[in-house]
Amino acid sequence: MQTGFRLNLSPVKEPLGFIKLLEWFSAVFAFGCCSSFNGTNVISLFCANGTNETVSAAFSYPFRLNQVLLFKDNGTVCNRSLAGTHLVGDASSSVEFFVAVGVLAFLYCMVALLVYLGYMHVYRDSNFGPAFDFLVTSAFAVLWLVSSSAWARGLQKVKYATGTEGIHQTVRTRDHDITCNVTQFASMRSLDISVVLGFLNLIIWSFNAWFVYKETCWHSQKGRSQQEAARGRGPGPI
């Protein structure tokens, strides 16, 4: 059996390779949409003495909101000295998990495409290659489900903590006489898109698992056993 590199673009025209190419692009956009995020919310403070003030809260990936400073320590707000105040919440674990899955999926797709385009003759002549590919593809489908669900929940927490209600609750822990309202919201469209792409990756990888399974010895053995069973039955009695 020859094991050298032989470039062959035909696998990309088949579902096996074409879907892997889609997975490569969708993984890049999925983790890229959230890992590059930077946003700032502008908050108007309404003081008890009738004056208004404006503060801002800048937050970004990995969304450790409890490290985002809203009021400086011993800063003057509404003519009062307040202790340092941070936003509430930490969504770093869910978003970092999501990004890690995306990066690993991206790298695996690159390796798989290299095998498909250069070593498909080795891939199809062995039982290990398709079986390993099927198990990894199935594992990534599960990882996309778990990570996308976790990040969707984490994004809800980010939106609440940086919204009017969440910031108002944070401010009230320092001074009950101060009310606030978020007057300018950072666009979180890219974060919403990342969640959608995460679940889209779940669908694509699950769909791809079927085509990879058809390359495994398990599928071929099942087909042969069904054919042998059909031949063994033969025609029924007249």
Q: Is residue 228 within 8 Å of residue 222, measured between CB atoms? A: no
The whole-angstrom separation of Cα 231 and Cα 99 is: 51
Q: What is the DSSP string of 185-221?
A: PPP-HHHHHHHHHHHHHHHHHHHHHHHHHTTSHHHHH
The whole-angstrom separation of Cα 200 and Cα 144 is: 9
Backbone angles phi, psi at 51, to 5 degrees: -90, 160
Residue-wise pLDDT tens digits, 12-66: 888 888 999 999 999 999 999 999 999 999 999 888 878 888 888 999 999 999 9
Residue-wise pLDDT tens digits, 63-120: 999 999 888 877 778 777 777 788 999 999 999 999 999 999 999 999 999 999 998 8
Instruction: Please give the pLDDT value at position 178.
Output: 82
Residue-wise pLDDT tens digits, 202-222: 999 999 999 899 888 875 554
Q: Is the model more confident about 60 or about 232?
A: 60
Residue-wise pLDDT tens digits, 141-200: 999 999 999 999 999 999 999 999 999 888 887 777 788 899 999 999 999 999 999 999
Instruction: Please give the pLDDT value at position 233.
Output: 54
Map out the domains of the chain as residue ranges: 15-215
Report residue 8 CA to chain centroid gap: 31
The SS3 of residue 54 is strand
- The strand pair at 52-60 and 38-46 is best described as antiparallel
Q: What is the pTM of this model?
A: 0.85
